Amino acid sequence: MSQFRTFILALIASFGLPWLCLIVVPAIKYQALTQIAYDKDRDGVEGLFPPAPINRQGQLVYAREGCVQCHTQMIRPTQLALDGWRKGWGQDQEARPAAAVRSNNLRDYLGEPFAFLGVQRSGPDLANYGWRAPERSQIHQMLFAPKSLHDWSNMPSFAHLYTERLAQGQPSNKALKLPKKFAVKEGYEVIPTPEAEALVDYLLSLKKDYPVPGESAAVAAAPAAAAKK
């Protein structure tokens, strides 16, 4: 009987302690977090960190469509990976960034019911996609027909988020401009649905490399301007 009790206790410890340390404790710490204020003299910027909320409606579309299966939203520390030095993965869009993009911390995900860190990285990380995003129309084109932009793309089409309709009079200013190979039949046009618009709004809002209060006195103009809004 004592051996059975020992076995049960060991089993509980084997599963309970990791669950407690990896799920419960971080969840409690996350719930206790709040935005913190920048010190203008120290940080060179005013406002709160993180400064901008995410687009919740678009995040729901992102989750439903399974984007998290192929894209991460987490810049890992430089001692663990080269994420911070990848071209376009932060505000600095140069081929050789002057400094590594900072890794993400818990506060970067404030206001998000779920932090979509990602399952695997089949596509590029999207933590700071808003900085490198092309024009809005091009994002819609990528979602509707990924291979129309890159013939090597393995990204699936999200054409179901768009409506093909008969064009009446002048084409809509929201109609997608597609290459001939991917164009719909003559006389018709492709229009984003509200869900597609929300998803693009969400992708454009992904900017998680704002300076952390107290950690950097050198603040780029872009986050400074955004934080003052």
What digits encode the pLDDT tens for the residues 154-181?
A: 999 999 999 999 988 888 889 999 998 9
pLDDT surpassing 70 at residue 223: no
Q: How far is CA 171 from CA 157, 174, 178, in A?
A: 23, 8, 13
pLDDT class of 216 with cuts at 50, 70, 90: low
Dist. CA 139–CA 47, nearest whole Å: 30
pLDDT surpassing 90 at residue 144: yes
Partnered with residue 37 across adjacent β-strands are 48
- Whole-number mean pLDDT of the chain? 86
Separation of first and last alpha carbons in the chain:
67
Q: What is the pTM of this model?
A: 0.80
Checking DSSP bridges between strand 48-49 and strand 36-37, what pairing results, if any?
antiparallel
The pLDDT assigned to 65 comes to: 96
The percentage of residues in the chain with a pLDDT greater than 90, rounded to a whole number, is: 38
The pLDDT assigned to 225 comes to: 41
The pLDDT assigned to 191 comes to: 95
Query: What does the DSSP 8-state code read for residue 156?
Result: P
3-state secondary structure of 165: strand
